Amino acid sequence: MATSQTGPAMNEGPNPPLRRRFSNAERASLYLAADGRCSRCDAELQPGWHADHMAPYSQGGPTDVINGQALCPTCNLKKGSKPPMQLRQWQRRAVDAFYAANAENFLVSATPGAGKTKFSLHLARDLMQRGIVERVVVIAPSDNLRVQWADEASAAGISLYPVAPGDIDGYSKAGYVGCVVTYQQLLGTGQDLLRRAMRRPTFAILDEIHHAGDNKSWGDALRMAVEPAVHRLCLTGTPWRRDATSPIPFVRYDVNGTVAVDYAYEYGAAVADGVCRRIEFHAYDGEARWTDPARVRRSTIEENGKSDVSVEFTAKLGANMPEEDVSAALDTVYEPKYAWMPSILAQADAMLSEVREDVPDAAGLVVAERQWLAQGYAALLEQITGTRPPVVVSDPKADPGSRLAKQQIDQFRKGTGRWIVAVKMISEGVDIPRLAVGVYASKTQTPLFYRQVVGRFVRTRPNEEINARLLIPAVPELMRHAREIEEELRHQLEIAAQEDEKAQGEGGASTGQGMLDFRTPLSASESVFDRAILQGAEVSAEELAAAQAKAQELGIPRAYAANLVPLLRAQKTQEEVSVAAVPQQARPAEIPHYRREKLLRQEVETLARKVAYRRKIQPKDINIELLRAGHPKRAKATVAELEAMRQTLAGWMGAS
């Protein structure tokens, strides 16, 4: 006879059945913990709200407040049962490379926005299912990322506990298969607590591993803490140039003493695959005037033994000048009270308005050098837009708890506000896909920091075909970084096109200088658009203006004007050749024709990959569909046939 599972009988036997429903007391706790708002959409909870398991009950998630969340009915029904995790092509290849290496340590370098977190959690779950490991630990660089990793892991069906500072019980908390901590927490007793939690076979994920080289104590603590792990997956979204003289734990170095990456997925490949957005770099020049008594005294005393504090310095941002002058010029133009920054912010907001015509919740980010400057920019944006944007201090040294910064970032991510201002930057890994326009107002010129900022704008969302824009001072070093990034993209697109055509043919961290106390900024001119860097080429102000006029003529939003520049260049070259050519010389006309054909091939290649990405199929399957639709192989297609192919793919994009 079956016995009823109510009352005391539920506690009988060694393995009583798990309780599915939250009690009234637990529901009250979840409601209060969420401040009466839905944990997903932030809407005010109404009668009938749902108490939901974060780690699904069907997958063994406990009915406990530590595994619960308060959701509105709409969000809970949308959540539903999650389908198996679908990996992108690069993620599948990285998983295969990990198993092929069969090594304790494996370093993956993938561009921001490519999906390192999803790849890592898939691998963690696969290792657990294979019985290779029983537990998972994640070490992240910030408090904000610690919570974000725990949330992402829960969505992937892995229960990880985000250990708060001072919580000595969180490292081995019952009901979880692992934990998430920060590098900072490993100092002191944290390293021993984490090491002890690895008594069972453990997979360690070391996010943004280059942070372990920031200071020796972090690296030593990390080495001690995760040494017992069966496998250690090291992740970075930014290339760094640290060599073997300042080694980072669990990272290999080649014979030349430079870091050896086991699997790389760079920005160019991510854009070619439709995984990341393309970014336009808009450089602005301007003139700065300042005085520097300390420097004047040095120079005049050397010349005639006298001091003269009345000498002024003047420089244009785009000019080649000593680093000391670059720092002084940037200090001057970044002052909110002078004309350069107000004009830059006004132009950036106008760009954002253009983008929001197509993407209503698109947003902008200003990266400021110091907190008082950030407050000044917020005041300027309030004058421009009528709304004061939030100012986020995400530097861990300035805001160790980062609780306020996290709340501001979370609210901004879920909202529709236009602008957010951050001191230095919004932390690595913070995912705000609606960021589309940025203003670089930092003095830091290192490629590491620059690429971290660029990474804030490249994340994609479904059904969005926009280019992100980053407005930068026309300082030569920053321009060089932009060219390098665009050159990587251009090179990767060409490689992708060549590989695809071949397949068809076969049948199928420095922080920069600080402001000098005695230096006095005097004035800065309004910003002047100098040039844009897009698709590996520089675009002049005149070309961009012509493209914007053409876009308006064609009924295309101005936000897409930069995409027309290569086409207008090809048309202009063809017209010039036609006018200059004599009847006996028809050969030169083939040069612009070839350029146009090359441009079309790249555009068709990019569209095909984007359609494949949206449909979750391989690019070769799109090529087969094109052949079935009557189009020839791209390797043999004429300009007219490529244009027809582009039109077909554009139609498929709209239907995806």
- pLDDT number for residue 79: 58
Domain 17-79 sits in CATH 3.40.1800.10: yes
Domain with CATH 3.40.50.300 in the chain: 89-265, 279-534
- pLDDT number for residue 89: 85
Asked if residues 338 and 524 have their Cβ atoms less than 8 Å apart, the reply is yes
- pLDDT number for residue 453: 84
- φ/ψ bin of 14: left (φ > 0), alpha (ψ from -120 to 50), beta (otherwise): alpha
- Alpha-helix runs per DSSP H in 312-370: 323-333, 340-358
- pLDDT number for residue 1: 36
SS3 86: coil
pLDDT averaged over 10-residue windows placed end to end, the chain, 656 residues: 34 46 71 70 74 72 74 69 66 93 92 86 94 95 84 88 89 90 90 93 92 74 93 81 66 79 82 77 86 61 52 82 86 90 93 88 92 94 94 58 69 90 67 89 83 81 79 87 71 53 45 40 64 62 73 60 66 55 41 56 78 80 88 81 85 73
Cβ neighbours around 89 below 10 Å, total? 16
Of residues 491, 600, 470, the one with CA closest to residue 537: 491
The pair of three-digit structure tokens given for residue 22, joined into one six-digit string: 């939250």
- pLDDT number for residue 119: 94
- pLDDT number for residue 334: 92
Asked if residues 579 and 467 have their Cβ atoms less than 8 Å apart, the reply is no
Domain with CATH 3.40.1800.10 in the chain: 17-79
The pair of three-digit structure tokens given for residue 638, joined into one six-digit string: 């004429």
CATH fold of 279-534, please? Rossmann fold (3.40.50)
SS3 214: coil
Of residues 300, 190, 633, 273, the one with CA closest to residue 460: 273
CA distance 191 to 56: 31
Asked if residues 120 and 429 have their Cβ atoms less than 8 Å apart, the reply is no
What is the DSSP-derived secondary structure letter of residue 82? P
What single string gives the DSSP state of each residue in 425-477? -SPTT---TTEEEEEEE-----HHHHHHHHGGG-B--TT----EEEEEE--HH
CA distance 641 to 205: 48
Half-sphere exposure of 482 (CA within 13 A, CB side): 26
CA distance 630 to 625: 9
The pair of three-digit structure tokens given for residue 369, joined into one six-digit string: 């050098």
SS3 327: helix
- pLDDT number for residue 635: 74
Asked if residues 537 and 516 have their Cβ atoms less than 8 Å apart, the reply is no
CA distance 462 to 458: 13
SS3 159: coil
Of residues 511, 373, 352, 355, the one with CA closest to residue 438: 352
Instruction: Indicate the CATH number for domain 89-265.
Output: 3.40.50.300
**Segment (H or E) for 161:** strand 160-162
Of residues 650, 357, 624, 616, the one with CA closest to residue 503: 624
CA distance 209 to 189: 21
The pair of three-digit structure tokens given for residue 338, joined into one six-digit string: 């002078």
